[in-house]
Amino acid sequence: MTMLDDRQTAAPWPTAYPQGYAVVDVETTGLARDDRIVSAAVYRLDALGNVEDHWYTLVNPERDPGPVWIHGLTSDVLEGAPLFPEVAAELSARLADRVLVAHNAAFDWSMIAREYARASVVAPVEQRLCTIALAKELRLPLPNHKLASLAAHFGVVQQHAHHALDDARVLAEAFRPSLHAAARGGVRLPLLECRPLTEWSDSPVAPRVGYQPARQPNSWRPSRKRQACPYPNPGRYEKEKPLQQGMRVAFSGDTSIDRELLEDRAVEAGLHVATSVSRLTSLLVTNDPDAATSKTQKAKSFGTPILEESAFTHLLRDVAPADGAVLPRQATPPPE
């Protein structure tokens, strides 16, 4: 029996919970800002997490398909697939009036938002929910935050990893018991606002041989020099306390959210983004604290607090104002 066969629900069901969900998975040509979607799947769920229907499509990325050894989609397979603008309406119909649910939702949402922006269409998504964040809220005893680990915890069998339709199915099956556990425990769902991209310009994609995950120039947003942080540095971040405007934040290694976007959100919240680690650095954000990078080594030698990306982005939602400062009335919401 899979978790989808279990129809028991929490009583009473929290009225503040969303009335419908769209569990999404996309496979892409890579992880950079100029990469494209090659396949997409959506499982629509009702308010209790029960499956209503599912949908899957290939998407012609109009470029090299990237890591074929991961998603299995070659140029020949994708040649006759529809372009994203040709499937945008169908995808919109399945996302409309629902919370987008994904495993590492910041990535799936960013890829979808960029495709919509290229097509000059607004994505009908107002909120997203990351199942990694939900697993942390539920304190699930997972060895790591991979989809396979979440699936194994709930007894869900993966049949075809990195196939968008099967990954979406697995996530839908794992999300339902997670949703019920949250309802039983009165756990707040970690919902975040989705804002569509409002600026985009196409530029020729440099030819690539195979898959190269290194960062490449693109035109998603113009480069610019950031203004100096107007707030004084209040010192180091302290565990279990909020971030405070003026704190100096450094980043190291790869991030699931585009680095420039993540840094922008930190600046908008009133933090100072530092390019290096010193004794004045308030915290270091990295997903690999054991990496032998100069920033992590300096942070450890200075005793600088180290946070993983997901913890940092959660803290970005409630940054305390600097002494004597007032937070903007409409601050840009942080990503996951």
- Assign residue 284 the CATH number of its domain: 3.40.50.10190
CB distance 192 to 333 below 8 Å: yes
Q: Judge whether 34 lies within some domain.
A: yes
The model's confidence at residue 201, banded by pLDDT at 50, 70 and 90, is low
> Taking all residues of the chain, what is their mean pLDDT, rounded to a whole number?
84
Q: Is residue 16 part of a domain?
A: no
> Counting Cβ atoms within 10 Å, is residue 246 exposed (0-12), middle (13-18) or buried (19+)?
buried
Which among 193, 216, 236 is the end of a domain?
Answer: 193
* Residue 101 maps to a domain: yes
- What's 171's domain CATH number? 3.30.420.10
Place of tokens 């499956």: 51
29 and 96 inside one domain: yes
Q: Which residue would you say has higher pLDDT here, 217 or 153?
A: 153
pLDDT per residue over 18-57, tens digit each? 999 999 999 998 877 778 999 999 999 999 999 999 999 9
> Taking the C-alpha atoms of 103, 106, 112 and 115 in order, what is their torsion angle to the nearest 10 degrees?
-140
Examine the domain organization and report whether 42 and 155 are in the same domain. yes
- 10 CB-side CA count, 13 A: 20
Closest C-alpha to 62, from 105, 19, 119, 106: 119
Number of domains in the chain: 2
Report the side by side order of strands in the sheet with 248-252: 272-274, 248-252, 283-286, 306-307
Within-domain flag for 243: no
Q: Categorize the per-residue pLDDT at 182 as very low, low, confident or very high, splitting at 50, 70 and 90.
A: very high
Give me the pLDDT at residue 282, please.
Answer: 96
Question: At CB < 8 A and 24+ separation, what contacts does 60-67 make?
Answer: 61/29, 61/36, 61/37, 62/36, 63/29, 63/36, 63/205, 64/29, 64/207, 64/208, 65/29, 65/38, 66/28, 66/29, 66/30, 66/35, 66/38, 66/211, 67/29, 67/30, 67/211
What is residue 198's predicted lDDT score, i.e. its pLDDT?
63
Residue 81 has pLDDT above 70, yes or no: yes
Domain that holds residue 259: 248-316
Going by the DSSP 8-state scheme, the letter that residue 332 receives in this structure is: P
- Report for 4-18, 61-75, 177-191: range of highest mean pLDDT: 177-191
> Can you give the pTM of this predicted structure?
0.62
- Whether 215 shows a pLDDT value over 60: the answer reads no
Looking at the chain, the whole-number percentage of residues with pLDDT higher than 70 is: 83
pLDDT at 284 over 80: yes
Which is nearest to 133 in space by CA: 106, 157, 110?
106
Is 56 in the same domain as 187? yes
Q: Is residue 148 in some structural domain?
A: yes
Query: Do residues 135 and 149 touch, judged by C-beta distance below 8 A?
Result: no
* Position 224 pLDDT exceeds 70: no
- Say yes or no to pLDDT of 216 above 50: no
| Cα angle 264-220-335, degrees, rounded to a multiple of 5 | 40
* Residue 230: inside a domain: no
**302 and 162 co-located in one domain:** no
Q: Phi and psi at residue 284, in whole multiples of 5°?
A: -115, 130
Residue 149 has which token pair? 């680990």
pLDDT value at residue 199 = 59
Q: Which two tokens stand for residue 214?
A: 């290194």
Question: Do 175 and 31 touch, CB atoms closer than 8 A?
Answer: no
- As a whole number of angstroms, the distance between CA 129 and CA 318 comes to 18
pLDDT score of 222:
41
Neighbours of 202 (CB within 10 A): 9
